[in-house]
Homo-oligomer: A and B are copies of this chain.
């Protein structure tokens, strides 16, 4: 008699079958039954679908040169159609978004171009992508001019970015991350704003008027944790690691400090190329995050080891085919990020004290 099959050997790998005319959605469905990162990418779609059918507040973190690299309208799409509820971003992604929303472009180059030749022509290189330094300088001035119109008081990055999106929309009417967030009233946090050209623009505002350009990043910490306290069901999608990854986790950890009901994110997707074994936060595993309480020990989670410029177009194209309605109909928080206090579901969140549970 045949030895009974091991409990480990229940679900066979199904070899990917090639057919012409396959949609991205269908291709990803077939990849669920293969192995390694192909399977993980396919699993990420399923977990995102679960986020959308849950009542979780969905945080998206964006690091790496996603906007310069051609993904800004994907992120804008996620915001506009509310596949996500709150964006945490590096400054660079917002800055390169602004650059294009203002009508400028990034250009297709190559990593083999001689950098001294580029420097001589004042062209900046991001791996295989190029942009004009002079146009960047004009962006900085444009940001400084914008900042000088603000009141002379501290603004959280969330508030200043809302105003920036509004101003950009009024001036350009163009799509992009900042303008989509303005329309959809999706809050954007930029905890490392001082490490970006947006921060540089704000510093130039202060150079012109010594009382301008005060950003209250500590207020951002409190606001983001209060989003979690207000509704402890949360999910995190991280593209590329960096400060957004930790900031989203920190919101949960900090919230739990003041509210026992908070128990870490319920769903987690990360698309990273960094690895755990050097100890850095960008590459840290989602299992490790459970030890900290950043993720619930029961969370559904997946790490996809892939470049975001491959993974995100695939993932979002597939989601758009299957989950657009789910994104529309889901139980999602509604924000008003236009004022000094962030309003969530009709009620303001403090930026100077942690909410009562």
Task: State in angstroms the CA–CA spacing of A92 and B87 once bound together.
Answer: 22
Partner of A195, one of B125, B192, B206, B305: B192
- Residues of chain B within 8 A (CB-CB) of A313 are 16, 18, 27, 30-31, 34, 38
Measured as residues with beta carbon below 8 angstroms from the partner, the interface class of chain A is 35 or more
Task: State in angstroms the CA–CA spacing of A354 and B77 once bound together.
Answer: 39
Task: State in angstroms the CA–CA spacing of A338 and B15 once bound together.
Answer: 28
Interface assignment of A128: CB less than 8 Å from any CB of chain B:
yes
Stretch from A51-59, A209-217, A328-336, A340-348 contacting the other chain: A209-217
Interface assignment of A105: CB less than 8 Å from any CB of chain B:
yes
Interface assignment of A150: CB less than 8 Å from any CB of chain B:
no
Once the chains bind, are A107 and B279 in contact (CB under 8 Å)? Answer: no
Q: How far is the CB of A115 from chain B (nearest CB, A)?
A: 4
Task: State in angstroms the CA–CA spacing of A131 and B196 once bound together.
Answer: 32
- Residues of chain B within 8 A (CB-CB) of A197 are 250
Interface assignment of A317: CB less than 8 Å from any CB of chain B:
yes
Q: How far is the CB of A107 from chain B (nearest CB, A)?
A: 5
Q: How far is the CB of A290 from chain B (nearest CB, A)?
A: 4
Task: State in angstroms the CA–CA spacing of A130 and B9 once bound together.
Answer: 7
- Residues of chain B within 8 A (CB-CB) of A243 are 192, 195, 243
Q: A243-B243, A314-B314 are in contact. Are A100 and B35 (CB under 8 A)?
A: no
Interface assignment of A133: CB less than 8 Å from any CB of chain B:
yes
Known: A35-B106, A116-B297, A202-B218. 10 other contacts (CB 8 A): A6-B121, A12-B107, A13-B107, A17-B73, A36-B128, A65-B279, A200-B221, A200-B250, A242-B282, A278-B305
Q: Give 5 A-B contacts (CB < 8 Å), ordered by A residue.
A: A31-B310, A35-B128, A69-B279, A191-B195, A306-B306
State the A residues within 8 Å of B (CB). 3, 6, 8-25, 27, 30-31, 33-39, 41, 63-65, 68-74, 77, 92, 100, 105-109, 111-113, 115-116, 118-119, 121, 123-134, 137, 140, 154, 191-197, 199-200, 202-204, 206-207, 210, 213-222, 225, 240, 242-243, 246-247, 250, 253-254, 257-258, 273-282, 284, 287-288, 290-293, 297, 305-311, 313-314, 316-317, 320-321, 324, 352-354
